Amino acid sequence: MDMKKRIHLELRNRTPSDVKELVLDNCRSNEGKIEGLTDEFEELEFLSTINVGLTTVAHLPKLNKLKKLELSDNRISGGLEVLAEKCPNLTHLNLSGNKIKDLSTIEPLKELGTLKSLDLFNCEVTNLNEYRDNVFKLLPQLTYLDGYDKDDKEAPDSDAEVYAEGLDDDEEDEDDDDD
């Protein structure tokens, strides 16, 4: 199924501005580009395009609220400067299984001041000498690289983290009701 058709199905009669999460895994992108996604998806916080044949993120629309972007198992080899421009509030980026070979390719990510977690598993860049130290130097805003922090402590489960954040919000709402 192609990406445009999949987006249409995922909308399920909602307008793009109602969608907070969009999972497009394993659909087909024509010519390796993101298609059918527009800046009307202004509330989008989570986008997953795993294994869709992407070679570029150049056609990503402006998604100011996007926090988590899953791009693993594609053929992306560069052009990441687009992410800082289009997704300025990104906190989690998964580029595992792409064609990223050197540190200069990920250097534009230093413009993403909110980026906390970056995954590059199964990318050639991970074979470089002192890979982890160099990425943490290049991207000082990072807390986690490939699921571990600078001290090799494992990241907490991100789903649990999101769930806990949701609970905190609910508790605050309840406090407001008591006033």
pLDDT digits (tens, 9 = 90+) for 109-159: 999 999 999 999 999 999 999 999 999 999 999 999 999 999 999 988 755
CB-CB neighbours of 137 under 10 Å: 11
Contact status, residue 102 vs residue 125, Cβ threshold 8 Å: yes
Contact status, residue 115 vs residue 93, Cβ threshold 8 Å: yes
The rounded distance, in Å, linking the Cα atoms of 165 and 170 is 9
Overall CATH class of domain 3-178: alpha beta
pLDDT digits (tens, 9 = 90+) for 71-121: 999 999 999 999 999 999 999 999 999 999 999 999 999 999 999 999 999
pLDDT for the residue numbered 158:
53
Contact status, residue 92 vs residue 158, Cβ threshold 8 Å: yes
Give the distance between the most distant pair of CA atoms in the chain. Answer: 57
Q: What are the residues whose beta carbons fall under 8 Å from the beta carbon of 98, sequence distance 6 or more?
A: 71, 72, 73, 74, 75, 76, 77, 120, 123
pLDDT digits (tens, 9 = 90+) for 10-36: 999 999 999 999 999 999 998 999 999
> What is the pTM (predicted TM-score) of this model?
0.86
The terminus-to-terminus CA distance of the chain in angstroms comes to: 51
Contact status, residue 62 vs residue 39, Cβ threshold 8 Å: yes
pLDDT for the residue numbered 107:
98
> Distances in Å between the alpha carbon of 2 and those of 42, 113, 128?
22, 33, 36
3-class secondary structure, 124: helix
Question: Mean pLDDT throughout 40-56?
Answer: 98
pLDDT for the residue numbered 157:
72
- The residues spanned by each domain of the chain are 3-178
Token code pair at residue 123? 């990318």
List helix spans (H) across the chain: 3-11, 81-86, 103-106, 131-138, 158-178
pLDDT for the residue numbered 79:
97
Q: Residue 176: pLDDT band by 50, 70, 90 thresholds?
A: very low
